[in-house]
Structure 1
């Protein structure tokens, strides 16, 4: 299978404007994300609507595609970028532009999901553990997900999800 990584990145974030261009250990956040992805997937592009990000990506030798400023989500931006890039890719992986610490093993785990021919979509999840502070669960910057017994996602939220079938620590 051939994998295309698309990293949506916009400058006008409401929580941290300019985050893709913020410096982290002497490199921009977007460069750190790109370098992690480019080493694992067959090809990688940054999808952006901002010329400052486009210039920065080209400066470090990355591939970039300009997209509309009207997208409501990174997924919408990835779709447009994928249409513009073209190619014979079997899987498109949407990698968040603000994940500079994504690891090769995490990307390989996503790749491995597609070894099963019935897989159409996959996402990384990490369980909250009882030793984490409750504030971690309340953090709106950390999406939550409910999985069924087959580890299929049923529901996503930025708020705490209360379910009667949730094992482990009681909430509230």
Structure 2
């Protein structure tokens, strides 16, 4: 199984135009993400999928691989599907381009899970530490069955704790691994009812019978959505450098 790590990097952003090129302690964010992912033991290749020549040039300047993709993709999944026609592989891991601290161990965990469930889509979850996140609709929750496959994703608090029992809530992380055939089938399907209700793309997979394997990680996402988030990441990196 040839595994390709794909980092979508779109130039346009309403809140933060040119975000992939933003400097974090002197390095473009896309370089930091790329270098983190490149430490993976199980990826055969890492590639940035972008819609902007400047991002492509930046990636190539530090020795990375990049491919140009269309500017009109609505989702990262659509961009990944285009990459499957440009970069040969069997399994593609979609890695967020605005998470400069993403651990390569998480990427490897997804690949390991894919080897055990080769026909499934693979994603990740992490225990919710901040109780306020349970009711926050911007934090997507997931529940899984005893075999670790997703039952449901929601912006609501799931499960609803009517019995008042001690329970752990899990946040869904936006990293996915797709078999090539599945990602290409997926982007051709119309949006499903639950997808439109929850505004969560992964319901299109569940509603059409695709299994989603969910691996657990302790990684708590530190993403960059606004220029102010750069400072937060730099502080964390400063602390890590002194450990």
| CA–CA distance in structure 1, aligned partners of residues 16 and 126 of structure 2 | 24
Equivalence for 2:125? 125
| CA–CA distance in structure 1, aligned partners of residues 8 and 91 of structure 2 | 16
Equivalence for 2:61? 59
Closer/same/farther in 2, CA of residues 146 and 13 from structure 1, 3 Å limit: farther
Moved more, 64-73 or 11-20: 11-20
| CA–CA distance in structure 1, aligned partners of residues 168 and 91 of structure 2 | 37
Per-residue CA deviations over 1:57-78 (Å, capped at 9, x if unaligned) read 1111111111111101011101
Aligned match for 2:85, one of 80, 83, 87: 83
SS in 2 for 1:107: helix
| CA–CA distance in structure 2, aligned partners of residues 99 and 143 of structure 1 | 17
Q: Kindly tell me the number of residue pairs found equivalent between the two proteins.
A: 164
Contact 2:48 2:67 in 1 (8 A): yes
Equivalence for 2:105? 105
| CA–CA distance in structure 2, aligned partners of residues 16 and 136 of structure 1 | 27
Please list every run of 5 or more consecutive structure 1 residues that lacks an aligned counterpart in the other structure: none
Closer/same/farther in 2, CA of residues 37 and 55 from structure 1, 3 Å limit: same
Equivalence for 2:4? 4
SS in 2 for 1:70: coil
How far is the alpha carbon of 1:49 from its aligned partner?
Answer: 0.6
Equivalence for 1:160? 156
Closer/same/farther in 2, CA of residues 139 and 16 from structure 1, 3 Å limit: farther
| CA–CA distance in structure 1, aligned partners of residues 66 and 83 of structure 2 | 9
Higher helix proportion: 2
Closer/same/farther in 2, CA of residues 117 and 56 from structure 1, 3 Å limit: same
Give the alignment's TM-score, normalised by structure 2. 0.60
How far is the alpha carbon of 1:162 from its aligned partner?
Answer: 4.2
